[in-house]
Amino acid sequence: MQGMGDHLRRARILCTVGPASREPATLRALVEAGADGLRVNFAHSSHEEAATVIGTIRDIARDTGRPLAVLADLQGPKVRVGNLQGSMPIHVDQTYRFVPEGHEVAEVPAESVIPTTYSGLALDLEPGARVLLDDGRLSFEVVRIDGDVVEARALAGGALAANKGINLPGVTVQTDFLTRKDRADLEFAESNHVDYVGLSFVQRAQDLRRAREAIGGEALIVAKIEKAQALVELEDIIRLSDGVMVARGDLGVELPFEDVPMVQKRIIRLGRELARPVITATQMLESMTGQPRPTRAEVSDVANTLLDGTDVVMLSAETAIGDYPVEAVQAMDRIIRRIEGSALLGIDRPGRMPAGERAQVQKSASGAISAAAVEAVERLGASCIVTLTRSGFTARVVASQRPPVPILAITDQWRTYNQLALVWGVQPLLYRGELSFEGMRDHAREEVRRLGLGSSGDRYVVTAGVPFHVAGTTNLMRIEQL
């Protein structure tokens, strides 16, 4: 957190950890530059590497006295090219055979065989279907299915390397949603008390129900939207999650590229309406992987995402493998602050919807209380909103209303304290006193004064859920005076 009052940065920055950033000194520099959360990608990280990174992040959080969220991103049922001996040339109009890894095809030239990690590919495809490799750089049209072999004609060629992703636009993959690797990674993540778990390649609401049963712990679930099928049940998927990610990489391969911007806007809008934090990811400052400054187009992309109301902007390759990881965070911080401080076109708060369009969350008791708190702030000129929360639910609902003042979230739960680091506009504060409304209220008054958010006679708004041990019961609002 970079300050309070008018200097508070509302939108959050999530950084992917990789070879360019996993050293303790670099991780600390990312946090000092403005990172609010760190993403550990299990598609590219061993348990040993992840344990070291998570331990370092917790050390930095203690040293700096600020919350830091850890997101464990599961690989998911990603279909990939299998092992290849070096680079394989793909020639346009030539026929290739996609074969389960380890399967031998008689009387077929080896240079026309593409091994895959998914044995059920032939069951999911039919003639005429498209198969895209390496983020769509290579494309094929299925010609024939022969047992478990898929014959396809190359439409766009190039060089193919091992382990590249395979996308099947419009195809529902029948593999188990949580793979054996995912379950092992999930067990590791829970034992290391991560704050969020990212679910890759969600296709249907049922995927969230199964994942919730498997996770069972206190980590919050982020549904990554990167399959076209997920858009069919999008609202239900978001309702069943604790947060949602616009994963523009695979989504941009699954959909026509011109559709992605409007899908992104739809996801962000639904996230706000349902009080689920939204993370917008992939290629936000991609050029900074190799350059010290972003392009003008990238700056505009980030700015428009913020104006749409995203809670979090995520850096991927920029901080994982880039040459300028710290500079990328600094650039993102500058863009956010400029947009949030702008009065351009009368925009007072990025992502704020007209009152009549905030109906979904306001129909619940928690949403109604939160909306009333924002209204009270505006009518009374209150200096801040204080939420007393154990699970973080109260703070997330208040944040979804985009109040014009800082939100102080007082919690006695260490994991909630860190989870709220990735929620728009929230300053989490850890409480160690008596668990009662009076005790937490008095602590809140002290914190408001300490943070310079008001002086004697100033009013602020308090929301809470009573009793405190029951999650999701925001049912109280009070006007307090310093």
Q: pLDDT tens digit string along 112-123?
A: 999 998 888 999
Cβ distance 409 to 474 under 8 Å? no
Which ranges in the chain are annotated with CATH 3.40.1380.20?
Answer: 355-481
* Cα–Cα distance for residue pair 403/384, rounded to 1 Å: 9
Q: 0.85 exceeded by the pTM? A: yes
The CATH code belonging to domain 79-167 is: 2.40.33.10
CA distances from 108 to 88, 98, 112, 122 (A): 16, 12, 7, 18
Residues of the chain with CATH 3.20.20.60: 5-76+177-341
Task: Report residue 453 as tokens.
Answer: 């958010």
- 282 is known as an active-site residue: yes
What is the per-residue pLDDT across 127-172, written as a single tens digit (0 to 9) for each? Answer: 999 999 998 899 999 999 999 999 999 999 999 998 888 999 888 8
209 catalytic? Reply is no
Helix (H, G, I), strand (E, B) or coil at 79: strand
164 noted as active-site residue: no
- Of 442 and 270, the structure prediction assigns the larger pLDDT to 270
Dist. CA 333–CA 202, nearest whole Å: 30
Best mean pLDDT range from 75-79, 173-177, 317-321, 374-378: 317-321
Instruction: Give the confidence band of 376 by pLDDT, cuts at 50, 70, 90.
Output: very high
Catalytic-role residue among 22, 39, 390, 396: 39
Return all residues near 23 (Cβ < 8 A) that are at least 6 apart: none
Q: At a CB cut-off of 8 Å and minimum separation 6, what does 41 contact?
A: 16, 17, 18, 73, 320
Q: Which of 12, 22, 224, 358 is catalytic?
A: 224
The architecture of the domain spanning 5-76+177-341 is Alpha-Beta Barrel (3.20)
Say if residue 256 is preceded by a cis peptide, omega within 30 of 0. no
In degrees, rounded to 5, the angle at the alpha carbon of residue 64 between the alpha carbons of residues 66 and 335 is 65
Residue 39 falls in the annotated catalytic set: yes
pLDDT tens digits along 241-285: 999 999 998 898 889 999 999 999 999 999 998 999 999 999 999
Task: Please tell me the CATH superfamily of domain 355-481, with its number.
Answer: Pyruvate kinase, C-terminal domain (3.40.1380.20)
* Identity of residue 373: A
Domain with CATH 2.40.33.10 in the chain: 79-167
- Please pick, among 16, 280, 282, 416, the residue that the annotation labels catalytic: 282
Active-site residue, from 58, 66, 80, 459? 80
Q: Please report, rounded to a whole number, the percentage of residues in the chain having pLDDT higher than 90.
A: 66
